[in-house]
Copies of this chain bind each other. A is one copy, B any other.
Amino acid sequence: MVGTVLADMWGEHMETKYRKAAASSPRGLRPLLRAAPFGSGNDKGMTQILTEKQQAELASIATEVHLRPRATVYTADSSAHSAFIVKDGMVKAFLDLSRGSQRVLAFLFPGDVFGLAENGRYVNSVQTVTPTTCFKIPVSALTEMFVRDGELELQFLFKMTHELREAQRQQIILTHRDARIRVAMFLRMLQRRNDGSSHIELAMSRLDIARYLGLSSEAVSRATARLSREGIVAFPSLRVAQVINRSEFDRLTRAA
């Protein structure tokens, strides 16, 4: 039954490749989680929070899934059997609203978790944006492991708390009327995701950015054009942003 459902979603045209995660080389292919703990650790900000042992534990019940761009991982309301951790690439969580419009709720990067359902149903849909590798973990095995290993479970609690913060930051962005500010804050979010460099890779389309920021794609275009014209952010190509005027950029995005 599970196989049937998965076959529907990851049909033959997807060219997905499965592999036991545990069978991989011990280091690079294990699940990682990016989040911040409750208490005050030595280092501030997000870091990898799993121990080697926890990674190995997870790997023992995880499967690696390789997906090409724009592949559907799952759709909202479908029966939920697995959770996922992004290993490499980028996916978007979204909902299709009534009249064909789409709202992007989150972009998920390596170390992010998605697919933790409610009442056995996924609450939103997830599609890949770039070529993506995910760890796929049966929810039943995961919850069993949680009960046995409270430390591992705690890492997931940190992670979900962290994702809640991200969603709340997104709320802040969405309440700003000015499209220029929304786009700038969005770029700052991507910047934080990476190393904080002024060079920002935009893996998603302008339309997906618009869907994420609650704007029309035209408004996003005009906002980027204006940021460029004002010498705050340069866009050397469609998929690259470069912060030019750091202080002005900070001023724009320092609304919170």
- Which residues from chain A sit less than 8 Å from chain B, CB to CB? 36-41, 44-45, 80, 95, 97-98, 103, 105-106, 116-121, 123-124, 139-140, 143, 146-151, 153-154, 156-157, 160-165, 167-168, 170-172, 174-175, 214, 254-256
B174 and A214 contact, CB distance less than 8 A: yes
Q: Contact partner of A95 among B95, B214, B256, CB < 8 A?
A: B256
Contacts of A160 in B (CB 8 A): 157, 160-161, 164
Judge whether A256 and B97 touch: CB under 8 Å. Answer: yes
Contact (Cβ within 8 A) A165 B38: no
* This protein's copies in its complex: 2
Q: A38-B80, A118-B165 are in contact. List 17 more A-B contacts (CB 8 A).
A: A37-B118, A38-B139, A39-B117, A39-B140, A40-B119, A40-B121, A45-B119, A103-B172, A116-B157, A146-B150, A157-B160, A160-B160, A160-B164, A163-B164, A167-B170, A170-B171, A174-B214
A119 contact from B44, B80, B148, B154, Cβ within 8 A: B44
The residue on B at minimum CB distance from A124 is: B168
The answer to whether A154 and B164 touch across the interface, beta carbons within 8 angstroms, is no
Residues in B whose Cβ lies below 8 Å from that of A214: 174-175
**In the complex, what residue of chain B is closest to A43 when comparing beta carbons?**
B119
Residues of B within 8 A of A163 (CB): 164
Tell which of A41, A106, A162, A165 has the most Cβ of chain B within 10 Å.
A165
Interface residue SS majority, chain A: mixed
- In the bound complex, how far is the Cα of B39 from the Cα of A80, in angstroms? 8
- A38 contacts B154, C-beta separation under 8 Å: no
**In the bound complex, what is the Cα–Cα distance between A198 and B148 (angstroms)?**
44
Nearest to A147 among chain B residues (CB) is: B150
Bound form: Cα–Cα A161–B139 in Å:
14
**Pair B146/A154 contact, Cβ less than 8 Å:** yes
A143 cross-chain contacts in B, Cβ below 8 A: 38-39, 154
Cα-based distance from A105 to B169 in the complex (angstroms): 9
